[in-house]
Structure 1
Amino acid sequence: MRTERVEKPEKLKEELLSFVFDVYRSTGGRYPALEWVEDKPSTDDFEGFGRVYEPFLEFRLGEEFDELYVLRDEDGRIAGTMALVYNLEDKDVPWVPDEIRDEKTGLIEFFMVDPSYKGRGYGSELLKFALQRLKELGKVPYVITFPELEAYGYYLKKGFEEVMRYKEFVVLKYREKEVRS
């Protein structure tokens, strides 16, 4: 496995869309939550998923993410993703509360590992990488997620703590010096 920075994220759009759909399918449609969609596509409807998720993915790749990383397996397939968002002052990201929208905040976003790799430590590897990168940038790490997701408990185990609820989201801030395994 190797983690690589994606210099031109838009060029990976189709591959990322397939990867995210695989995650959507494997989580029974729980993630990504597609909270803005009234009639969510079924987990076997790639075309329907693409219609609702592709415009959001384009926004994220082109306007939201400051850095995007992918974890690739031995065959070159995307096995995991992670994005950093830290230039928040000029971005239209309505899920980020004003209380943390400043030059010190570094968000870990788009954090996913292919479920077929679950339990092998790849998520921990990506998270350590993200925390180290944000530290290099002088940013305070935050995650915004949904309280009902498995990821919520994962982040709490890894040294994050809940600092606020905002809309349907929960905002977590990293408190530990080292990521726990």
Structure 2
Amino acid sequence: MRIERVERPLDVKEELLRFVFEVYQSTNGAYPALEWAEEKPSTDDFEGFKRVYEPFLEFRLGKEFDELYVLRDGEILGTVALVYDLSGKGVWWVPEEIRDEKTGLIEFFMTSPEVRGKGYGSVLLSFAIQRLKDLGKTPYVVTFPSLKAYSYYLVKGFEKVMDYKDFVVLKYTGRGEGALR
């Protein structure tokens, strides 16, 4: 198993669509939130999910993510994307207060339902934090407070900075009992 940088993210779009759909199914439609969709597809409707999510995924892969990584063991077991060049990107969910050259966002962070609870998420998150630090960036996450991921990030050393629109902004401080080092 290894973490690989995806040099041409659009080339793995179909594989990512299937992976994200598995996550969507395993979270009973909670993640990805698909908050922009007028009607969310059911968790057993891949084609409906694809119609809603594919254009958004194409945008993220082609124009938003600065780096995309996958954790693989043959198939994708987890993903994480980094966004650190915020200039000119329509990142409307990121508050102005943190939109600067020192900010690094951890995005698209998820693991396959089959490997949850086995430490793969911690490996990916630790990798993302270190990569952003190596780039001279401060790691942030913007998420929904209702997701399980919110409490996961708090345990892993993130602290709430602010509420923003429907989101919560978290900053990595490295404090806390489960903080990643």
TM-score range, shorter chain: over 0.9
Aligned residues: 179
Question: Residue 155 of structure 2 contacts residue 179 of structure 2 at CA under 8 Å; is this kept in 1?
Answer: no
**Structure 1 CA distance, aligned partners of 2:45 and 2:97?**
38
- Could you tell me which amino acid in structure 1 is paired with residue 21 of structure 2? F
Give the distance between the partners of 1:162 and 1:176, measured in 2 at CA: 12
Specify the alignment match of 1:62 in structure 2: 62
Matched, 1:103 2:106: no
Query: What are the Cα deviations for residues 27-56 of structure 1, in whole angstroms up to 9, with x where unaligned?
Result: 100000001112100000000000010000
Q: CA deviation at 1:179?
A: 3.7
Helix, strand or coil at the partner of 1:89:
coil
| Residues 82 and 128 in structure 2, CA contact (< 8 A), matched pair in contact too | yes
2: CA distance, partners of 1:160 / 1:38? 32
Residue 165 of structure 1: CA displacement? Answer: 0.7
1:16-95 mapped onto 2 (5 Å cutoff): 16-73=16-73, 76-95=74-93
1:53-103: CA deviations, max 9, x gaps? 000000000010000000012xx1000000000000210111111111110
The answer to whether structure 1 residue 15 and structure 2 residue 15 are counterparts is yes
CA distance in 1, matches of 2:136, 2:179: 17
CA distance in 2, matches of 1:3, 1:90: 29
2:128 match: secondary structure: helix
Does residue 138 of structure 1 match 2:136? yes
5+ long unaligned stretches in structure 1: none
1:63 is paired with a residue whose SS is helix
The residue type paired with residue 67 of structure 2 is E
Identity %: 73
Normalization by structure 2: what TM-score? Answer: 0.96
What is the TM-score normalised by the length of structure 1? Answer: 0.96
